[in-house]
């Protein structure tokens, strides 16, 4: 099993920066891709960024060029560096890992960390 804990959220002014962390436990953490999702009140959860076990990354269009995802497998941690944040980035940010096991997929989620961007 994989357990995920997000941290690093908080209040930041528009144009500022902060770094989110997702610390995972479990033997399979370093062998799986990790994603960051976010969900604003009244809106659907949306994919923000992802990183494969080999370090390949992808970004949603609305964060490309502003956010950077990275991982440190020695620390079982994935980071999301958020730069030039905007008020519309305000949301709860969730870490996610999908683990395929014996023909089915198990989805693991952290508890989320709140990011609030003031104008």
pLDDT by residue, tens only, the chain of 119 residues: 789 999 999 999 999 999 999 999 877 788 899 999 999 999 999 999 999 999 999 999 999 999 999 999 889 999 999 999 999 999 999 999 998 888 999 999 999 999 999 99
Q: 83 is written with which tokens?
A: 């730069």
Q: Strand runs (DSSP E) across the chain, as ranges?
A: 3-7, 10-13, 18-25, 34-39, 46-51, 57-59, 67-72, 77-82, 91-101, 104-109, 113-118
Strand pairing category for 34-39 and 46-51: antiparallel
Contact 57, 50 (CB under 8 A): yes
Contacts of 80 (CB under 8 A, 6+ apart): 19, 20, 22, 36, 48, 49, 67, 68, 69, 93
Cα–Cα separations (whole angstroms), residue 21 to 18, 42, 46, 101: 10, 25, 18, 26
């Amino acid at each position: 099993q994989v357990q995920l804990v997000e941290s690093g959220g908080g209040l930041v002014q528009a144009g500022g920066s902060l770094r989110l962390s997702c610390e995972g436990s479990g033997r399979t953490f370093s062998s799986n891709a990790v994603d960051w999702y976010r969900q604003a009140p009244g809106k659907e959860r949306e994919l923000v960024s992802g990183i494969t076990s080999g370090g390949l990354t992808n970004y949603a269009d609305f964060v490309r060029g502003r956010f950077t995802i990275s991982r440190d497998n020695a620390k079982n941690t994935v980071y999301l560096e958020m730069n030039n944040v905007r008020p519309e980035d305000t949301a709860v940010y969730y870490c996610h890992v999908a683990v395929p096991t014996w023909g089915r997929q198990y989805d693991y989620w952290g508890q989320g960390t709140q990011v609030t961007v003031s104008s």
